[in-house]
Amino acid sequence: MTKILTGGVGKVEVAQAIGRLGIDSLDVVTSSDMDAAMKLRVGQADYYLGTCHTGAGASLGVLVGLMGSAACHTFGRSVPTEEEITALISGGKKVFGFSMDQIDAIAPLMARAIAARG
């Protein structure tokens, strides 16, 4: 089971969007950014999806500081393709940020790409 933590101002909405997909291999839990960083660092979670109003700094600020920029990526206000997400995950990214108004587009793409990795 792959554990995804959601955080930021849209954490509930991200969890709900992924939950509606019905992907049994994903466990999605809302979290604070500090708790998420600690769980990711010790292997108690696999990915973090953070949201803020712009998808830039606030969605990942604490996680970039504690996990390092090599583990983090923000989409800002753009909507990536599933191929772009897969490449980022394959490259070692575990922490992703995006804007609240992109939740319905990005959360399902992230969930499917993460689930495809098994």
Q: What is the DSSP letter of 71?
A: G
pLDDT band at residue 74 under the 50/70/90 scheme: very high
Alpha-carbon distance 25 to 1, whole Å?
Answer: 5
How high is the pLDDT of residue 58? Answer: 66
**Model confidence over 12-31: pLDDT tens digits?**
999 999 999 999 999 999 99
pLDDT score, position 51: 92
Question: Does position 109 have pLDDT exceeding 70, yes or no?
Answer: yes
Q: Which residues of 25-55 are buried (b: 16+ CB within 10 A; e: fewer)?
A: ebebebbebebbbebbeeeebbbbbbbbebb
